[in-house]
Amino acid sequence: MLLQTQSLTTHVALPFTPSKPIPKTQFFTPSKQNPFLKTQWRTLKCSLSAVSDPTHLEEKTHKPFPAEVSRTIMELVSVGTLSTLTQEGWPLGIGVRFAVDPEGTPVLCLNASNRQFSIDRRSSFHVQLGQCGLRTPQCTILGSIDKPEDRKMLKYLHSVWTKRFGEEVDEDLIYVVSVERVLQLEDFKEGGVWVTSSDYKNAQPDPLRDFAENLVNEINTNNIEDINRFCNIYADLNFQVSEAKLIWIDRLGFDLRLWSPQEGIFELRKKTHISKMGYAQLVIGPAGSGKSTYCSKLHEHCTTVGRNIHIINLDPAAENFDYPVAMDIRELVSLDDVMEELGLGPNGGLLYCMEHLEDNLDDWLTEELDNYLDDDYLVFDCPGQIELFSHVPVLKNFVDHLKRKNFSICAVYLLDSQFMTDVTKFISGCMSSLSAMVQLEVPHVNILSKMDLVANKKDLEDFLNPEPQVLLSELNQRMAPQFAKLNKSLVELVDNYGMVSFVPLNLRKATSISYVLAQIDTCIQYGENADVKIKDFDPEDED
């Protein structure tokens, strides 16, 4: 959880002077040379200026950067203080209403009585936003008061004003404050940060700005006990919070004001957690069905096409690998040690190892997984013991753990095409796959492996996409009449679960690997936004 606490009694003030003084010559710039008038502002949407590094600042503090905050204040508030020097040289501040154009330029409506500014038109325009009565972020724009001369622009600015205040005004009263630089302050007692004119113009106001105030009021009025519970239970603070209030909410997180008997008043920032997603295949199926070979060919394929992939060995009995092993259960537990020390056979030893993995999901696996996530694609090469996907809950708990870690996961069940020689074997293959599907409760893709060994593909066509009626009649032909009812139920069950669908895989053909991968990617929504081209796989292509 990313939290930042800040004592309100200690803060370091930033220097309050502009980092670059405004050159004197600019003070007398005639209005027709004003950059605002020359600017084609409608086309000014460009990338963020590199004068400062706002994104860096945002990442470090998990707060919107100062230019963004200033733009947000200017969008939300409609009254500010315009300060100028009078012709006699007195500093004079007056309250004015304002609207903003798409670049955040303040648009003012000034009548004769509040146009007593000095000849050089220098001004500062101060605007503040009360947040919950607890904090008042503010910005002061330094610039010059200008009268747009271009009639089209004046018309447009007039429409900006009308839209904001719902009233018609004389176009001749419209003025703008051309922004030279902006001083942004987080609160009354805080130091300020200077923002350049280009950073200010190119920043976007916070997308939550129009809802933030209502949200904050709603939560503080009706859900304050949730805020208190959050502070005392989830925020991981080492002191008791007696009272808490939400101050503001923005696109990157929210701010709380806390009262603690021991620590006094604190402000706390909670970063909105944007979960990153990982993707995973759990490769299962009977021993010898080709799981490890599939993993190694998949790794080869993905490396060739430049795709991210990491293969993880979950088989404690595996010895040789044709793929680089990214993570290995054998680093956690050794089958040989288990067999020797506990006097178990290979099968019992393997189950013991897997249960040991289950006991270490929160430790070993979590630590290992911390190296991944963030769009990483993991493929788990599993052992083939049928118990693991029939009744022993190890893989189920493993999958649930991955789901909690925000992995989108798919079970890939491999069946050896060499055993698909008749309908009874097909049904029994379906049943074992079905049992894994029911156990694991994740999207499921069935693969018919070792298609390169199938001499006559026509023999397999019946099992690639079979008609339930055809299956049933074949089953009935092979079995004694008393099984007719059972056969019907079995075929119905297999059909109802949508299991009667196998994707053939020939590891010798890149097109076949691509096709299978695309099917799995669709299941786990990998590259959803990418332009993934999927070619229909036709078993005939194999010849």
Ligand X SMILES: Nc1nc2c(ncn2[C@@H]2O[C@H](COP(=O)(O)OP(=O)(O)O)[C@@H](O)[C@H]2O)c(=O)[nH]1
Residue 433 interacts with which of Mg ion, ligand X, none, CB < 5 to 8 Å by class: none
Question: Does residue 292 bind Mg ion (CB under 5 A)?
Answer: yes
Burial of 344 (0-12, 13-18, 19+ CB in 10 A): middle
Could you give the angle at the alpha carbon of 199 between the alpha carbons of 197 and 200, nearest 5°?
65
Residue found by looking up tokens 């040989």 in the block: 336
CB of 393 to Mg ion, least distance (A): 21
What is the nearest approach in angstroms of ligand X to the Cβ of residue 374?
Answer: 28
DSSP classification of residue 135: B
Give the shortest CB-294-to-ligand X separation in angstroms: 7
Using CB under 6 A, pick the residue from 79, 453, 484, 532 that binds ligand X: 453
Cβ–Cβ under 8 Å, residues 407 and 282: no
DSSP annotation string for 46-97: -PPPSSS-HHHHHHHHTS--HHHHHHHHHHH--EEEEEEEBTTS-EEEEEEE
Cβ-based nearer residue to Mg ion, 198 or 292:
292
Residue 289 binds which one of ligand X, Mg ion, none, with CB within 5 to 8 A depending on kind?
A: ligand X
Report, in Å, the least distance between residue 314 CB and Mg ion: 9
Contact window for Mg ion (CB under 5 A) among 234-242, 289-297, 405-413, 502-510: 289-297
* β-bridge pairing 377-381 and 310-313: parallel
Q: Is 289 in the site for Mg ion (CB under 5 A)?
A: no
For residue 257 the two structure tokens come to 């004001």
Number of C-beta neighbours around residue 379 at 10 A: 23
Out of 278, 384, 466, 539, name the contact with ligand X by CB under 6 A.
384
Buried-exposed string 209-218: b where 16+ CB fall within 10 A, e elsewhere:
beebbeebee
290 near ligand X (CB under 6 A): yes
Is residue 417 a contact residue for ligand X (CB under 6 A)?
Answer: no
**How many Å is the Cα radius of gyration of the chain?**
34
Closest CA relative to residue 523, chosen from 401, 439, 414, 410: 410
Per DSSP, which regions of 354-437 are E strands?
377-381, 407-416
Shortest distance (Å) from residue 355 CB to Mg ion = 19
Residue 291 interacts with ligand X (CB under 6 A): yes or no: yes
> Which residue of the chain is nearest ligand X when measured via CB?
290
Nearest distance from C-beta of residue 315 to Mg ion, angstroms = 5
Identify which of residues 292 and 446 has a Cβ nearer to Mg ion in the complex. Answer: 292
Which of ligand X, Mg ion, none lies near 453, with the C-beta cut-off 5 to 8 A by kind? ligand X
Binders in 495-534 for ligand X, by CB under 6 A: 507
- Binding region for ligand X (CB under 6 A): 287-293, 384, 449-450, 452-453, 507
Binding region for Mg ion (CB under 5 A): 291-292
